[in-house]
């Protein structure tokens, strides 16, 4: 079969083949056809936080295929899997378990897959969804590659928009399972063989494809593709990925954010964001109920001090919420602070470039159900501008809401400058006899109408923050020379009294 006049490539097995992300044509059966790339995703501990087994077993019980009572030790096995991943004994036991499927009605098993899919689709990790969309947009085939039975997993793959699955097939006759595997047992080298067979039949170039897995036993598959990614890796895969310089991801956190024992640094440090651990400041929190305990939200706050980040973190931690801060790019270039900011999932902003990349990254975080913090003023005002009650802001927060529809939660910060003035390199940690009061006031969420322009929108946001200020923050204050000096960075000298706000 030959290409048509439009340049599409064919083969005599599959008809029109997708040109895919590479667009190259290679010979097969003497003719040319399009080479495409694929993204192969493991299921358990990769797309999902843990095992799919409990949901699948429960669905099989509900449709009457399995006995009502769980198999003794089943919960323990799944718990160990969630903690450390696959082990050879557990997988060999699972393989022997295929025999227990003998006599199952294939239609009932497919029904169980649909029931399980309706539950598991909600458990797919947020940044896995982002990765899936990325591959869809770039034209790659999406494939779930899993040891789990084909009939039970296919409905989930369909619900997530995958193109196909490579999974263990159970032999059947007259619609009844025979208790044997039909083809490859899709685990270890068996998974690699099954994926290679699938790719060859569909003209998928493994060298241009991606594979995602948590398991050391998927090392053969990861080594076979051009772009392997270790996701939530078990200990042995973590070592292998580090040695090979493969990317390591955790699909419940943004790219670049590490995890230790399943916990990212920001969540661990949230335990330290407790007011009682900061004796050099007295905190007053108001309106914390306006911070949603889950779901996307944009935090918009004024900026008075380097201590603002801690004050906001303390408020958010009281609602159990980590957050992604948009921060100046210069901070990421610092030797110690930069890696810490990256590990905390902060989003760099290069204010002079005009790039939309920070908003795109923030939108991705919001789409994953996270909280994003923006300080619309961009920087701490200097000189007399610091004491001007009329605040001005940049429109990025409004643009971000338009992109995502997430609510904007205004927060007023007051008194943080007395804990850590801009002129100091560190907070005043020894002021514990008479510590200054830090006031954190949270307002009701804003949803700006589409008809509001950027300028009017940011004015509404800044007005909402202003309305939360204490009385002294709403009147003009004539600062003393000492107060002016504290609004400038260390070493600014007498030039800090110009009050130009630069």
Residue 225 contacts residue 135 (beta carbons within 8 Å): no
234 is catalytic: no
Residue 385 exposure: Cα atoms within 13 Å on the Cβ side? 17
Q: How far apart are the first and last CA of the chain?
A: 69
Q: Which residues contact residue 379 at a Cβ distance below 8 angstroms, ignoring those fewer than 6 apart?
A: 303, 328
44 is catalytic: yes
Residue 369 contacts residue 359 (beta carbons within 8 Å): no
Angle at 160 between CA 155 and CA 161, to 5 degrees: 100
- Residues 467 and 443: their CA atoms lie apart, in Å, by 9
Nearest C-alpha neighbor of 159 from the set 228, 226, 113: 113
Considering 42, 151, 214, 234, which one is annotated as catalytic?
A: 42
- Residues 411 and 467: their CA atoms lie apart, in Å, by 10
Nearest C-alpha neighbor of 214 from the set 185, 169, 184, 252: 252
- Residues 333 and 342: their CA atoms lie apart, in Å, by 10
Collapsed DSSP state (helix, strand, coil) of residue 401: helix
- Residues 293 and 321: their CA atoms lie apart, in Å, by 7
Give the helix ranges, DSSP H, for 63-188: 74-84, 88-96, 106-120, 126-137, 150-159
Q: Which residues contact residue 159 at a Cβ distance below 8 angstroms, ignoring those fewer than 6 apart?
A: 117, 118, 121
- Residues 348 and 328: their CA atoms lie apart, in Å, by 6
Considering 18, 24, 44, 151, which one is annotated as catalytic?
A: 44
Collapsed DSSP state (helix, strand, coil) of residue 413: strand
At CB < 8 A and 24+ separation, what contacts does 162-166 make?
Answer: 162/41, 162/132, 163/38, 164/198, 166/40, 166/191, 166/194, 166/195, 166/198
Residue 171 exposure: Cα atoms within 13 Å on the Cβ side? 12
Catalytic site positions: 42, 44
């Amino acid at each position: 079969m030959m290409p048509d006049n439009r340049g599409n490539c064919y083969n005599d097995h599959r008809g029109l083949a997708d040109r895919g992300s590479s667009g190259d044509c290679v010979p097969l059966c003497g003719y040319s056809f399009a080479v495409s790339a694929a993204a192969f995703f493991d299921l358990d501990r990769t797309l999902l936080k843990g095992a799919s087994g409990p949901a699948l077993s429960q669905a099989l019980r509900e449709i009457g295929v399995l006995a009502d009572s769980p198999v003794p030790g089943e919960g323990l096995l799944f718990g160990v899997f969630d903690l450390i991943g696959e082990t050879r004994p557990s997988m060999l036991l699972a393989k022997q378990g295929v025999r227990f499927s003998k006599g199952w009605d294939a239609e009932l098993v497919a029904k169980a897959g649909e029931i399980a899919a309706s539950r598991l689709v909600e458990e797919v990790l947020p940044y896995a969804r982002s990765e899936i969309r990325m591959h869809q947009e770039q034209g790659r085939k999406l494939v779930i590659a899993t040891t789990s039975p084909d009939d039970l997993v296919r409905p989930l793959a369909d619900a997530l928009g995958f193109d196909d699955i490579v999974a263990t097939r159970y032999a059947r006759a007259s619609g009844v399972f025979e208790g044997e595997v039909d083809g490859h047992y899709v685990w270890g080298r068996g998974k690699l063989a099954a994926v290679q067979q699938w790719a060859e039949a569909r003209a998928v170039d493994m060298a241009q494809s991606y594979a995602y897995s948590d398991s050391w036993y998927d090392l053969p598959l990861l080594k076979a593709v051009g772009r392997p990614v270790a996701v939530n890796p078990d200990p042995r895969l973590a070592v292998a990925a580090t040695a090979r310089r493969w990317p390591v991801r955790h699909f419940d956190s943004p790219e670049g954010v590490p995890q230790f024992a399943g916990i990212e640094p920001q969540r661990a440090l949230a335990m330290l964001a407790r007011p009682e651990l900061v004796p050099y400041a007295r905190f007053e929190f108001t309106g914390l109920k306006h911070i949603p305990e889950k779901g996307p939200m944009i935090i918009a706050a004024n900026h008075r001090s380097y201590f603002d980040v801690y004050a906001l973190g303390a408020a958010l931690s009281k609602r159990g919420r980590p957050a992604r801060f948009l921060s100046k790019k210069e901070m990421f270039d610092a030797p110690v602070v930069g890696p810490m900011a990256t590990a905390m999932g902060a989003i760099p902003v290069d204010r002079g470039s005009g790039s939309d990349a920070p908003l795109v990254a923030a939108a991705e975080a919001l789409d994953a159900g996270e909280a994003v913090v923006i300080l619309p003023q961009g920087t701490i005002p200097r000189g007399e501008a610091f004491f001007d009650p009329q605040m001005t802001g940049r429109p990025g927060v409004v643009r971000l809401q338009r992109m995502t529809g997430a609510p904007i939660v205004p927060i007023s910060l007051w008194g943080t400058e007395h804990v850590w003035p801009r002129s100091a390199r560190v907070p005043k940690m020894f002021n514990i006899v008479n510590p200054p009061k830090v006031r954190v006031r949270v307002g009701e969420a804003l949803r700006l109408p589409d008809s509001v322009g950027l300028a009017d929108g940011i004015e509404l946001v800044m007005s909402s923050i202003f309305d939360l200020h204490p009385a002294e923050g709403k009147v003009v204050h004539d600062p003393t020379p000492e107060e002016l000096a504290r609004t400038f960075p260390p070493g600014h000298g007498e030039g800090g009294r110009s009050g130009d706000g630069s």
